[in-house]
Structure 1
Amino acid sequence: MQHLAHNNTIDQTKEKAGYFIQINNQNCHYEVKVNDFLAHKYIDPYPAYSVRPMLNGRILKSGKQTLSIRITPLQGEVLSKNADLAIRLLRYPNMLDKENEFGGSTIIMEWEMPQVKEELPYVQFDTIFNAEVPYVINDIDYAIDLSKMDEDKLLKEVTHKFKEMHRMMSEDYDSFNRIHKSLFERSVLSRYYSSEFVEECLLDNKESFQAERENIQPIENYVLKLYGNGKIATLERIKDGGYIIWAKDPETCTESLSLPLYIYKDKRDNQWHIW
């Protein structure tokens, strides 16, 4: 994976707005996609949870953004009558103004799933919202449409790349961080990270994985998933849809650490790169 030149840009004179989604769920699992990129997934066994992930990494430029939420059973094949999920989409005008709560939030929209009154395998909610951001991320413009590739060839290539990165993490994490840094370079624009914070994140990842080295699981029992309208690939665990790069707690057998990894194939060099 070599380093390609990027044409991503940011207008430093514009508001460094941040978009977040507050999610409160009970007795269900769910996944949230923004512009067909996975923004958040809840697959834990616990019946209730609240989270507020940032969406900027899935917003590539100003304008209309798609939001899709798929709610699935916590257990079994159909949703519990007690399943519930509510969201609140929030905008903060200035993510650099930490002392004043980033300028205060504005509610863009709210939604709560209807009460489950019949046997349903899932509930799907799709909508569109408008976002104004100061940056343009155009790496995806160079991505090959993977949905048009031969499925067997695609699976073989993606698996090879994931196993290569998996090996790098265990043998030489610094070499993995060198290619992983491209993701954080985009975050400098979309999440307004400082270069110092990026270096801290890369170091934290290295230390976390080295501490869990003995518990990192092999790449097996996975399924290929495409996001970003067919341009981004990843491998997910068949069992629960979790990330394929993960560590298992030897006592509880639950996930103690995981790393979301996505790759795309750039038409300029026909090579795989981290998204």
Structure 2
Amino acid sequence: MKYSISILFSLLFFLQSCGQNNKALDKEVNEILGNLYKDVKNYDQRINYHAMIFIGGCNYEVLINDFPVDRYFGEGNGAASGSAPINRAILKSGLQTWKIRIYPIHDIKEINGKVTMLPRNTIQEGARVEIAIEGIQFKENGDIEKRFGKVVDFKAPLKKDDKTGKNIFAEAGKPYIEYSGTFQADVPYQLAGWEEGEDLYKLDKSTLEKQLLNKYKEYSNWIQNRNLEKIAKSNLNSEKEESQALFYDKQTNQSIINNNYINGWGAEGLKVYPLENYKIKFFGNGKLATLERSDYVGDPILAGEYVNKNNKNEEMKVFYLYFYIPKGKTELEVIR
């Protein structure tokens, strides 16, 4: 294929502009968030608590201190296991709470030409639920340096089926079940978090919903205009706390900037979905609020899609935001 000199020049100019824009974005975000690791205290005493989760035949949501740290809503074929860091939900040493909510799996169906996921009515007999929480100290290269032992080791009960003699999920046949407990965590930091936030349950729900929607509209506009400076400034307090809770070093700090901001919030060509079909979800014992999709369980309202440069596939990005109102103030702020 042949190109005219003018087209080639325009293409070269476009590529140079993209590169310059990326460098400018990178500089803006680094100026705001690039030195978070320098303020991390007690790095030598770091301890990262992780929730090790084994799930089979069900959907779930794991909460630490009533803050969501892991979830899955979708088809339930087979079993899955993974590890989720939970320090971002631990504000200080002491007694913490854990909860795991169990839901039926979803089936993919086509309704009126639209593919959607519909939850089943009840939890199936083959469901399995296990959660363990353990304190771990990692080396800077990511290897485990020290284990502090499990502080939670829970397996949902099974029972023997009278007909088949097989072990089945004891709560099978129910539409929802949750398990909860407490554990002791010892961390070398204390975060303000949302503890001193206003009780959002006491606010008029429709007013709160409008305030939340306005905040999401701000973020949506920032994403569409690739205004990472405003996003980074809005998230600064949250990022400061997370850098301490997760004990950022310089490499981790830069990775967060690259993955979450340059290639996340600022992904080239990211098209934001309309802000629609939403409902308020409360967390943090009523001090946190977010907007989630009402038609896709567990999905945040703020999401979009872009073409991945590496594999040329269309991919989806989702953005979870948790707002609170600091005591004595009236405006919502991001805290996670």
Same fold (TM over 0.5): yes
Change (3 A) 1:190 1:143: same
Is 2:240 the counterpart of 1:185? yes
| From 319, 322, 332, the counterpart of 1:262 | 322
More moved, 22-31 vs 100-109: 100-109
Supply the AA of the counterpart residue of 2:332.
W
User: What's the CA shift for 1:194?
Assistant: 2.8
Residue deviations 1:242-265, cap 9 Å, x none?
A: 122222579xxx972212111111
| From 63, 72, 91, the counterpart of 2:135 | 91
User: What's the CA shift for 1:114?
Assistant: 2.2
Aligned-partner Cα distance in 2 for 1:149–1:260: 22
Change (3 A) 1:54 1:99: closer
User: What's the CA shift for 1:209?
Assistant: 4.0
Supply the AA of the counterpart residue of 1:37.
F
1:102 is paired with a residue whose SS is strand
Give the equivalent residue in structure 2 for 1:72: 103
2:282 is paired with a residue whose SS is strand
Give the equivalent residue in structure 2 for 1:114: 157
- RMSD over aligned CA atoms reads 2.6
Aligned-partner Cα distance in 2 for 1:42–1:73: 11
User: What's the CA shift for 1:174?
Assistant: 2.6
| From 147, 153, 176, the counterpart of 1:104 | 147
- Where does 1:201-212 land on structure 2 (aligned, <5 Å)? 201-205=256-260, 206-211=262-267
Give the equivalent residue in structure 1 for 2:212: 158
TM-score (norm 1): 0.86
Which runs of no fewer than 5 residues in structure 2 stay unpaired? 1-38, 107-119, 159-168, 308-313
Identity score, percent:
26
- Residues 246 and 255 in structure 1, CA contact (< 8 A), matched pair in contact too: no
- Residues 220 and 272 in structure 2, CA contact (< 8 A), matched pair in contact too: no
More moved, 224-233 vs 137-146: 137-146
User: What's the CA shift for 1:10?
Assistant: 7.2
| From 27, 51, 54, the counterpart of 2:57 | 27
| From 31, 34, 48, the counterpart of 1:18 | 48
Rg comparison, structure with higher value: 2
- Residues 43 and 247 in structure 2, CA contact (< 8 A), matched pair in contact too: no
Change (3 A) 1:13 1:21: closer
Change (3 A) 1:255 1:31: farther
Which runs of no fewer than 5 residues in structure 1 stay unpaired? 1-8
Supply the AA of the counterpart residue of 1:174.
E
TM-score (norm 2): 0.72
Aligned residues: 265
- Where does 1:228-267 land on structure 2 (aligned, <5 Å)? 228-239=284-295, 240-248=297-305, 256-267=316-327
